[in-house]
Amino acid sequence: MTIETIVLREIRMRLKAPFETSFGVTQDRRILLVEVVVDGISGWGEVTTVESPSYNSETTDTAWHIISEFIVPRLIGRDLHQAVDVAPLLSAIRGHQMAKAGVENAIWHAEAKLKSVPLAKLLGGTLDEIACGVSLGIRENPQALVRRVEEELRSGYQRIKLKIKPGKDLDFVAAVRKEFPDIRLSVDANSAYELKDTEHLRKLDQFNLLMIEQPLQWDDIHSHAKLQSQIRTALCLDECINNAAHALAAIEEGACRIINIKLGRVGGHYSARQVHDLCQKHPLPVWCGGMLESGVGRAHNIAMSTLPNFTLPGDVSASQRYWNEDIIEPEVEVSSRGTIRVPDSAGLGYAVKRDLVDRLTVRARDWKAGVMAQV
């Protein structure tokens, strides 16, 4: 597999509605797409950074820099055996998992197309449909949130996750739980609390939640272990887990009972599969997190979610919840049972709408094998 061309572009996409988390409000996404051409076949990946270093330390602009100056020079013109060979070539670059994942995943896509197999199968996936939940942003009041939950349940989603932060937590969760006593419900704090809030967080135990996601600091596994020992509800780690070694530390310390796997955060399909396999062995259930992706990232999430230990519904939901028009066809659709059917055609099973991508592009750069051998 010769990496002949790499194209990096930034597209702008406006979410249908603003999305509020404990770290801020987003509506205008700045998304990087990576297209690789391998033996004449193109593969696509998405860089899942947000615009500011608020979720993790990466941003859209740091990823542009790292891909252009450090990742492309290590890959362009290379002859690889398979996509699994990409991660070791990038291991000298510390951090920047989302930048690496955007490129590695594009190469996985190309490999699947070259081998004429669905990406899900190439990864070792076994599920032919995946279970879907939704992640709901913070609302101005509990009534507004209850109305949103009702709509999502009517669409069939199997699990509702509520974003919370101090001052916008117990009343909101209580209102939803009162209205819907039996649904699978979870909360995600995106690191908005501290260990000294333990007494407060313990009040969430009364709501029979499936999990509390990442309540404490983004890089602090140890404090989560202390909290987990004092709270009945399962903790789930998101921000803290950037690779399989972190997952092992969290499991052995008792810092969580569930792990959210995000392809970008852990550095691509290869690392995601390592985290998955480790959790399966222990065993600890995993689910696929979301980063408000365009269709390209969403399609990769679907492929990853077919691995057998993805036993909880993910934050992988329908294109039309996010975008007026997604950049893939068909768009991602969710059945009335809250599931997505995994495409069985070669590659991602969704085609990139090149014309639309061109219209949304605000900057692009490309590299061709041979042309920049001097770098």
Q: Which residues bind ligand OSB (CB under 6 A)?
A: 21, 50, 55, 135, 188, 190, 238, 289-292, 315
Residue placing its CB nearer to ligand OSB in the complex, 289 or 313: 289
Sequence-separated (6 or more) residues with CB below 8 Å from residue 203: 170
Of the listed 100, 113, 161, 163, which one is catalytic? 163
Q: Nearer to ligand OSB by C-beta: 55 or 367?
A: 55
Identity of the residue, 4 or 315, whose beta carbon is nearer to Mg ion in the bound complex: 315
How far does the chain reach from its first CA to its final CA, in angstroms?
Answer: 21
Alpha helices, DSSP H, located in the chain = 60-66, 72-75, 86-90, 97-114, 119-123, 142-155, 170-179, 198-202, 221-228, 244-253, 263-266, 269-281, 295-304, 354-360
Whether 310 and 127 have beta carbons less than 8 Å apart is answered as yes
Active site residue 203: no
The SS3 assignment for 329 reads strand
Shortest spacing between CB 289 and Mg ion, in angstroms: 6
Closest distance between ligand OSB and the C-beta of residue 91, in Å? 26
Residue whose CB is less far from ligand OSB, 86 or 240: 240
The owner of tokens 């362009």 is 76
Residue nearest to ligand OSB (CB): 290
Residues 6+ apart with CB under 8 A from 61: none
What are the phi and psi torsion angles at 124 (to 5°)?
A: 100, 15
CB of 326 to ligand OSB, least distance (A): 13
Measure the CA–CA gap between 180 and 160, rounded to whole angstroms.
11
Per CB under 5 A, 20 contacts Mg ion? no
100, 113, 165, 262: the active-site residue: 262
Q: Does 238 bind Mg ion (CB under 5 A)?
A: yes
Site for Mg ion in 176-215 (CB under 5 A): 188, 213
- Report the number of secondary-structure helices (H) and strands (E) in the chain: 14, 15
- Which partner, Mg ion, ligand OSB, none, binds residue 228 by CB below 5 to 8 Å per kind? none
Q: 20 or 238, CB closer to Mg ion? A: 238
Contact set for Mg ion, span 211-230 (CB under 5 A): 213
Q: Does 104 bind Mg ion (CB under 5 A)?
A: no
| 262 catalytic residue (yes or no) | yes
Residue 117 neighbours by CB distance under 10 Å: 16
**315 makes contact with Mg ion (CB under 5 A):** no
46 is a site residue for Mg ion (CB under 5 A):
no
Which of 76, 89, 6, 10 lies closest to 49 in space, CA to CA? 10
Q: Which residues are near Mg ion by CB under 5 A?
A: 188, 213, 238
Q: Which residues are identified as catalytic?
A: 163, 262
